[in-house]
Amino acid sequence: MFRPAAALSVLFCTAFLLTCVTCRLVSFSYLGCYKDHSSTRDLNGLSGVSKIGEFCVHHPSGSVYLSMMSHKLCSSICSIGSFSYFGVQYGDECYCGNSFGSHGLVSEADCSMDCLGNAMQKCAVSDNNTYTVVKQSSPPVTSGATSVWPVAAQSVEDCLLWCSARADCRAAVFSRQELACHLLEFVYPPGHLSGPEWTLFVRG
C-alpha cells in the first residue's frame, strides 16, 4: 500500500537527502550495547558541530534525528566525517565518535528498541541511556552503488508495482510529464527528483 507524501516532516537542514550522501556504503560490525549519559555523551564526535554533510546535528545531545533511522543510514552519516564508530539510540537517533565504552557495557536487553527505519535492527532505548554501538570499517569504504533506481513505467500503477516487487524499495517518485519512475531506498528523494513535476509515494 502506498500513500502520496504531500508534505514530509523531516529533521534535516535541507528537505531532501542528497544522492552523494545516500550512496555511501560502509561496512560495519556490531559491537554491543553500551551505557550512555545525557550529560557526558560516550559517542561525542558531533559535539559542537551544527551539520554533518547536509544533516542537522541537534544539541545538546550531539546527534542526528531521522524518522527512518537504521544502522546503514547512521553508518552513512558518520562515514561523512570518517568516524570509526557509530551508535543508534531511541529508534531514531544517530551518534558518531572515534572511541566508546567510557560508561561500560550493559545487557542486550537494554538495547531492545527497534530502529524506526528497519525493524530487524536494534536502536537501543533512551530511558536507560544506552546505545547499540557498531564499528565502521577503517578507513570507511565508499561505493558507487546508489539508493535511487530508474525503471520503465508508463503510469503511477506501473511505478508502484515495480516498488512493491523490491524489498529494499521504501518509496517511489513518478513524473506524469516525463513518464518516468524512480524507486527509492529512503523516503527522501534527491534534489533532482523533488520538483513540482514529481509525485512522491511512500510505502507502508
Q: Where are the domains of the chain?
A: 24-136, 147-203
Nearest to 136 by CA among 89, 40, 93, 72: 72
pLDDT band at 94 (very low <50, low <70, confident <90, very high): very high
Q: What is the pTM of this model?
A: 0.58
Residues 73 and 22: their CA atoms lie apart, in Å, by 8
**How confident is the model over 68-90, as pLDDT tens digits?**
888 888 888 887 777 888 899 98
Local structure of residue 109 (DSSP, 8 states) = G
